[in-house]
Amino acid sequence: MTEPTVAHDVIHRLINGIVDQQWHTLGELYADDAVVTHPFAVPEPTRTEGAALRKRFTESAGMPLKLTASNIVIHQTADPEVFVVEYDYHVVGTKTGRELDTANILVMHIRDGKIVSSRDYHNHGVFAAAVTK
């Protein structure tokens, strides 16, 4: 079991790592067999596991987006390893200059200081709109 303070640290390191584009360090936050799903991904939901997750972070380097996170709220659930995270992104397309805002929700299972699963609810249309004219 992960103590809530450890889980909160992992969650903040994840969000800050994404905002700071520290793609090479994000994989360290996940268990080797972690599973991440994006139920609202466009054009269809995605599921990424294990080593493919680390590869996905590496491929995110150079993404033409600048993100700022705010309003981060972490909810503990009845299961001591499950957390619901709400936060907002201010999104700027670095090539287009388009600025948009979007809300996000993560349902994360954190055990022994590592993310073992995460169901990530993002509005992928906002990210796409920020990078296209």
Predicted local distance difference test score (pLDDT) of residue 4: 74
Predicted local distance difference test score (pLDDT) of residue 121: 96
Q: Is the pLDDT of residue 49 over 80?
A: yes
Angle at alpha carbon of residue 116, lines to 115 and 120, rounded to 5°: 70
Region 67-74 average pLDDT: 97
**Interval 19-38: pLDDT, tens:** 999 999 999 999 999 999 99
The domain 4-131 having CATH identifier 3.40.50.300: the answer here is no
* Sequence-separated (6 or more) residues with CB below 8 Å from residue 51: none
Angle at alpha carbon of residue 41, lines to 67 and 31, rounded to 5°: 75
